[in-house]
Structure 1
Amino acid sequence: MTLEICVDDIAGVDSAVLGGADRLELCSALSLGGLTPAPSLIATARGLPVPIHMLVRPREGGFRYTPPEAAMIAADIAAAAQAGLAGVVIGASAADHTLDAPLLAHLVDHARTCGTARGTPLSLTLHRAFDLCPDLPAALETAIALGFDRILTSGGAIKAIDALPMLATLHRAAAGRIVILPGSGIDAGNATRFLDAGLRELHASCGAALPLAADDALEREFGFAATGRRATDVDRVRDLKLVLDRFARQAA
């Protein structure tokens, strides 16, 4: 049982580790679905006792990338390897929202080369560009052929719980060739339903809304702070981890 928590600041890193996360997805701007984290956050997180997988996404919006943007992604993959991180999370779309297989093949090969150079392979996760694909079972086979280790997916729905049958279908079709990592809206209240479907890695943010402080008013007025801000909640991480641990004990 593996619990991956996505975090976008150092407070979130600390909360996720304290709550018992098995792995972190490190990024910035979770409110936008996550972007590539700052080098300073990477440097701060690199010594943690849990594996760190870095999201590589150079901008908000869709996942069609120009050649300069693809070069940025490649550079960030190399930076993750040089920092000693355990893996990267990448993805790219073609014009019809299928996976951009030629670009992804290049990036996967580049990541493997970076891992070989440091003596330890990078784990490769295909991110939720997968969820935009018009045919998820076909995209699954593409991801396997490309050499990804796992797919982070909500099953094509906004929330993973609403696509549990698809996630179960993908898990069965994967047949051990790749890990299906469900994410989006997973918490302690619904995690068992994914585990009952055979899924053994879960991805969550475990975020809680931050109260609006009166002294934030000026920052919000200038656009320096957004309303509806969320932060990784250590108790939510701990509660979700307890569900996984309890399920593992019962299954043993």
Structure 2
Amino acid sequence: MDGVIAAMKGGAGRVELCSSLSEGGLTPSAGLMHAAAALPIDCYAMIRPRSGLFEFSTAEANIMIADIATAQKAGLAGVVLGAQDAEGWLNIPLLKQMMDAAEGLGTTLHRVIDVVPDPLMALNQAMDLGFDRVLTSGAEPFAQDGAKLIGQMVKQAAGRIVIMPGCGLTAANVADVMAATGVQEVHASCNVRVLGGVAFSDFDPPNGRFETSQQKVRAMVDQILG
């Protein structure tokens, strides 16, 4: 919850709500969903039950459907989701189920699009499924390196879906990436590493945990607004 408040105070226009930033973001708890829904900022819950890539078992799929329902009941603005099939393509049947469960919510397809065999084909599928937005690094480790593909996505989308670059964006490079790609929205974790206290067990990650930084959010917003 502290991270949501930091992002809001830093000037973010929307928050991707998740737990476990050190694992790339996992599904937030029901309590966090309800608390975030009470804030005056749109929050989208990450629907991701575990770390790793995005081929999910039937049990995991059922959990994600239930988590979407929890986000609905909490009153959140939207959800962030994605799934692959055994060949690595988008799992269209499961995504249809998840989109049906998310009826009335905003929907973002997450960076699963960066690890499918053909991101541009997946973009067409995302539009057919009715997603509002795609989060992508342009199929590269960092969005600044994937700017060419992100620009192609923007042209292909032609305003039918929002293309939102993310991963590796900072106050130092966000303006250049936006100018190079033509995007209007960006995504960034804006986190800082916080070292934990020494204890007899691994209560803290060995290299520290990540927390959202209000100062980093503000610096990025200032660059975007010019």
Aligned counterparts of 1:181 and 1:135: Cα–Cα separation in 2 = 18
TM-score for the superposition, normalised by structure 2: 0.96
- Segments of 5+ residues of structure 1 without an aligned counterpart are 1-9, 113-120, 247-252
Give how far 1:228 is off. Answer: 3.2
1:87-236 matches, within 5 Å, as: 87-112=78-103, 121-196=104-179, 197-210=181-194, 212=195, 216-218=197-199, 221-226=200-205, 227-236=207-216
RCO higher in structure (CA 8 A, sep ≥6): 1
Query: What is the CA distance between 1:43 and its match in structure 2?
Result: 1.9
Ranges in structure 2 where 5+ consecutive residues have no aligned partner? none
The structure whose Rg is larger is 1
SS in 2 for 1:201: coil
Normalising by structure 1, what TM-score? 0.86
Q: Residue 13 of structure 1: CA displacement?
A: 1.3
Q: CA deviation at 1:167?
A: 0.6
CA distance in 1, matches of 2:98, 2:6: 32
- 1:131 Cα deviation from its structure 2 partner: 0.9
Shift of 1:53: 0.3
The one-letter amino acid paired with 2:201 is F
1:100-150 Cα deviation digits (max 9, x unpaired): 0111112112211xxxxxxxx200100111111111111111111111111
Q: 2:74 corresponds to which residue?
A: 83
Which one has the bigger helix percentage? 1
Shift >6 Å, 4+ stretches: none
Partner of 1:117: none
Q: Could you say which residue in structure 2 is the equivalent of 1:72? A: 63
Correspondence for 1:63 among 54, 57, 66: 54
Given that residues 34 and 75 in structure 2 are in contact (C-alpha distance below 8 angstroms), is that contact kept between their aligned partners in structure 1? no
* Aligned length, in residue pairs: 224
User: Residues 21 and 211 of structure 2 are in contact (CA less than 8 Å); yes or no, is this contact kept in structure 1?
Assistant: no
